[in-house]
Amino acid sequence: MHILVTGGVGFIGGHLAESFLLDGHDVTVLDNFEPFYAKGIKNHTLEIHRKVAANGESEYRFVEGDVREPETVREIVEDVDIVVHQAAQAGVRTSVENPRKVADINVDGTVNLLEASKEADVDRVILASSSSVYGKPNSLPYAEDHPTEPVSPYGVTKLTQEHMARVYTELHGLPTVCLRYFTVYGPRMRPNMAISNFVSRCLNGEPPVIYGDGTQTRDFTYVADVVDANRTLLKSDAADGDVLNIGSSDNISIQELAETVRDQLAPELEIMYESAREADAQHTHASVEKAGEVIGYEPSRTITEGVGEFIEWYQSNREWYEPLVQES
Ligand SMILES: NC(=O)c1ccc[n+]([C@@H]2O[C@H](COP(=O)([O-])OP(=O)(O)OC[C@H]3O[C@@H](n4cnc5c(N)ncnc54)[C@H](O)[C@@H]3O)[C@@H](O)[C@H]2O)c1
């Protein structure tokens, strides 16, 4: 199978492309190295892809290009079987500061992908959506039919992307699936996120900083589970035209998360608090019942197990990863 991974040297796309190569698929990555965080992390991922491809039978092609350019996208999509669309301007705060740019990448870029996929008659487009589409909770955990009322421009772009995908399925018969990821973490994760920040600061004897009072809760999803869901969908039409939550088995308050990391790495540190950040959701918690029923999805780790694994990974990769986390 030939798979296009957009945003394929980013955190999640990087793991997806690596796993598809290991499975023997041919992979094309389209990424513009958007300078949202240190480029070195993406270069590292690109090197991993090249090594994996060199050690196997799969073909790997990296294209430095932008999903906002319809011509580039059309040429690349022409001979692929499946599109796995991860390219986006992630980050709620960036979207508050620069909504125009976020809309251009997340909405216009997606339309380019869908249009090219329709023309090339690809087998399926799998799109990265987000728990941010829900906004304020009426009830938790969020099931997929919970009302969607995003509280950030980022959430609005992800919801628009979902509707656009559904309409392409309904109007043109293009199979699409949207996966609503709930805060994803793991090796090579984005630096500007709670888990990477807490680990980096505690290892350096600096107190973890919580924005807000720490009562906000999050579902943290291990990246391997996101990869599993996408791998299943390469070969399954069970979720075509639909949306699925991809989350973990439990959720945790930011206070508890900071304590878990602090207690493992530097129990003597006092947690610090700064004012809450604008447009951050207060609570996220996924119901993964539907994903379980439709594609057999099952989260593999508790947050404590996953954070433990991430800390181990961080310590073994500290030399190259930490300076890049601190630079971002
Ligand atoms: N990490 C999470 O917790 C999380 C949660 C929910 C949803 N998501 C979604 O998952 C996807 C991947 O997120 P991530 O955490 O890996 O983020 P990331 O920033 O690490 O990866 C996104 C990649 O897309 C690339 N990109 C950005 N704009 C582009 C453009 N115009 N053209 C081509 N490439 C472009 C970036 O260079 C980057 O490599 C995104 O769609 C994001 O919205 C992530």
Pocket test for ligand 1, best of 4, 6, 11, 156 (most atoms within 8 A of CB): 11
Evaluate if residue 287 carries a pLDDT over 90: yes
Give yes or no for residue 49 having a pLDDT over 80.
yes
Q: For ligand 1, is residue 9 a contact (CB within 6 Å)?
A: yes
The atom number, within ligand 1, closest to the CA of 10 reads 39
Phi first, then psi, for residue 162 (nearest 5°) are -60, -45
For position 148, what pLDDT does the model report?
A: 97
Q: Give the pLDDT of residue 327.
A: 86
Q: Which of 37, 134, 142, 154 is catalytic?
A: 154
Output DSSP code: residue 245. E
Q: Does 225 sit in the ligand 1 pocket, CB within 6 Å?
A: no
Buried b (16+ CB within 10 A) or exposed e, 130-143: bbbbbbebeebbbe
Residue 180's H or E segment, with its range, is strand 176-181
Please report the pLDDT score of residue 280 as a whole number: 80
The Cα 300–Cα 221 span in angstroms is: 9
Cα 314 to Cα 9, 99, 189, 260, 327, distances in angstroms: 19, 33, 10, 15, 16
Nearest in space to 3 (alpha carbons), one of 99, 118, 85, 84: 84
| 91 CA closest ligand 1 atom index | 43
Q: Is 235 exposed, middle or buried (0-12, 13-18, 19+ CB in 10 A)?
A: exposed
- Which residue's CA lies nearest to atom 25 of ligand 1? 7
Structure tokens at 66: 């932008």
Pocket test for ligand 1, best of 15, 86, 178 (most atoms within 8 A of CB): 86
Q: What share of the chain is helix, strand, coil (3-state, %, to 5)?
A: 45, 15, 35
Where do the domains of the chain lie? Answer: 2-181+223-247+281-299
* Residue 269 Cα to ligand 1 middle (Å): 33
For residue 96, what pLDDT band results from cuts at 50, 70 and 90?
Answer: very high
129 alpha carbon – ligand 1 mean position (Å): 10
Per-residue b or e along 168-203, where b marks 16 or more CB atoms closer than 10 Å to that residue's CB: bbeeeebbbbbbbbbbbbbbbbbbebbbbbbbbbbb
What number does the ligand 1 atom closest to the CA of 181 have? 6
The reported pLDDT for the residue numbered 254 is 95
Note the pLDDT tens digit of each residue in 99-124: 999 999 999 999 999 999 999 999 99
Which residues are paired to 26 by β-bridges? 2
> Rounded to an integer, what distance in angstroms lies between the CA atom of residue 97 and that of residue 297?
35
Q: Whose CA is nearest to atom 10 of ligand 1?
A: 128
Better-predicted residue by pLDDT, 281 or 27 = 27
| 85 CB-contact burial (10 Å; exposed 0-12 / middle 13-18 / buried 19+) | buried
The pLDDT mean for the chain works out to 96
Q: What is the pLDDT of residues 231-241, one digit of tens each?
A: 999 999 999 99
- Write down the pLDDT at residue 326: 87
Q: Is pLDDT of 278 > 90?
A: no
Is there an atom of ligand 1 within 6 Å of 31 CB?
A: yes
Q: What is the DSSP string of 199-225?
A: HHHHHTT---EEESSS--EE--EEHHH
Q: Is 154 one of the catalytic residues?
A: yes
Q: How far is the CA of 101 from the centre of ligand 1 (A)?
A: 14
Our answer on whether the CB atom of 62 is closer than 6 Å to any ligand 1 atom is: no
What are the distances in angstroms from CA 15 to CA 50, 214, 269, 328? 13, 30, 33, 20
- State whether the beta carbon of 91 lies less than 6 angstroms from ligand 1: no
Q: Measured in angstroms, how far is the CA atom of residue 266 from the centroid of ligand 1?
A: 31
User: Is 40 a residue whose pLDDT tops 90?
Assistant: yes
> What is the distance in angstroms between the CA of the first residue and the CA of the last residue of the chain?
36
Q: At a CB cut-off of 8 Å and minimum separation 6, what does 230 contact?
A: 16, 84, 126, 179
Task: Report whether residue 90 contacts ligand 1, using a CB cutoff of 6 Å.
Answer: yes
Q: For 11-20, how does the pLDDT look when each residue is reduced to its tens digit (9 = 90+)?
A: 999 999 999 9
CATH topology of domain 2-181+223-247+281-299: Rossmann fold (3.40.50)
